Amino acid sequence: MTDKHPYYLRFRTFISNLNYMIQIIERFLKYVQIDTQSDPKSKTTPSTEKQWLFAEELVEELKEIGLEEITIDDNAYVMATLPSNIEEEVPIIGFISHFDTSPDFTGTDVNPQIIENYDGKDIVLNALDNIVLSPDYFEDLRQYIGQTLITTDGTTLLGADDKAGITEIVTAMEYLIDHPEIKHGKIRIGFTPDEEIGRGAHLFDVDKFGADWAYTLDGSQIGELEYENFNAASAKVTISGKSVHPGYAKNKMVNAISIATSFLEILPPEETPQRTSGREGFFHVHHLKGEIEHAEFELIVRDHDQELFEKRKELLQDITANLNRIHGDCISLEIKDQYYNMREKVEPVMYIVDFAKAAMEAVGVTPIIKPIRGGTDGSQLSYMGLPCPNIFAGGHNFHGKYEYVPVESMQKAVEVIVKICEIVGEKFDGADIMEENNDDL
């Protein structure tokens, strides 16, 4: 049998894909077993020392696979380069993921489970605590029947957000190094700390990164391609009360808890995360504490539409003003904008979305273009001069014990990265597009 025989070629492809999948699994398992949980209370960058361990190990791995211009700065931002292998001058593109995991659920002692050839039934994550990952509740599971899933053991999060993205970027770079016949321009990759606490792009050096545009690998299910996200703000309401013996409290006591309750009752009850979807915005109270003398709560404000976003903040200000008139200026409100909808910065250069869409279609992935109901480093980076749509990384049920990722989705994400590099390297008419969009870039 010759090496050009169709059966031989099919067998060689099968073995290549099998080795490819094993490589992805091993790399991902290594990453998720390093605790990189961020801390919103910390004032440092990165917010936790344990993120340094991952960043430093990542630097060594990038050296081993043969990347160049590898740097790690004083805040643990990691960058590296895959040099161009073509003579033509084409745009420099980047791929970015974050290595911290959410503070919402423990990421210590992650013990992943591998479910081969998933049969579509309940997956017992932890028999002792009766923790079950069920398709009856998490319906997305059914689309992965027959695939290999990586899950938690029911006691921690998994960390696919966003170590799946890092796995995919590093694997794609290694694949391109091993396959120089795939023509591409200069590729930059970057890995950031503290995305989960909203600081992932704060100290990202866009000029140093030097890309014309980039993609974050931080989406969820296979096919997601996003260039819209929420406009976001945080708000803190503080209420000062007066404690008086309840038997003699008439017209004297100011109960901070009661006032806090009144404030929250005015917020539209249907505009909460659990009652909204798509482009619908919301108010989300996530911390609340109080006693008679003092009460405070924190909430986030989200909306894709800029005008509606501003009206939401105005509503908080109006409620504060009205209750202060009633209760005597005992309420203070602090609102801070966090990030904005990147659509404004991406739409003028929509061809960067088109490249990703074409790449997905070329490798057999159906693009799912929809707004992100959240934020991503890409939104802040877009406003810092680096247009940055978001591509799927493959995971589901982030930030909790039911998190899982199909290996085949990670494999497809790798293929999408490689194909984007190939499309830009071989088919990009740089002069025309860059000239037409120079002002926007």
**Residues carrying an active site annotation:** 100, 195
CA distances, 403 to each of 65, 197, 394 (Å): 29, 19, 11
For 120: left if phi > 0, alpha if psi spans -120 to 50, otherwise beta; the answer is: left
Pull the structure tokens for residue 331. 């309420």
174 close to 65: Cβ distance less than 8 angstroms: yes
**DSSP-derived secondary structure for 337-382:** EEE--THHHHGGGTHHHHHHHHHHHHTT---EE---SS--HHHHHH
Q: Which residues pair with 385 in a beta bridge?
A: none
Continuous segment of H or E residues that includes residue 426: helix 407-427
Sign of CA dihedral 171, 173, 178, 179: positive
Residue from 159, 172, 185 nearest 62 by CA: 172
Sheet holding 404-406, edge to edge: 113-115, 149-151, 404-406
Which residue's structure tokens are 């490689």?
418
Compute the distance between CA of residue 13 and CA of residue 59 in angstroms, rounded to an integer: 31
The 3-class secondary structure across 132-192, one letter per residue, is EECCCCCHHHHHHCCCCEEECCCCCCCCHHHHHHHHHHHHHHHHHHHCCCCCCCCEEEEEE
Residues 6+ apart with CB under 8 A from 44: none
Q: Which residues pair with 190 in a beta bridge?
A: 79, 96
Residues 6+ apart with CB under 8 A from 14: none
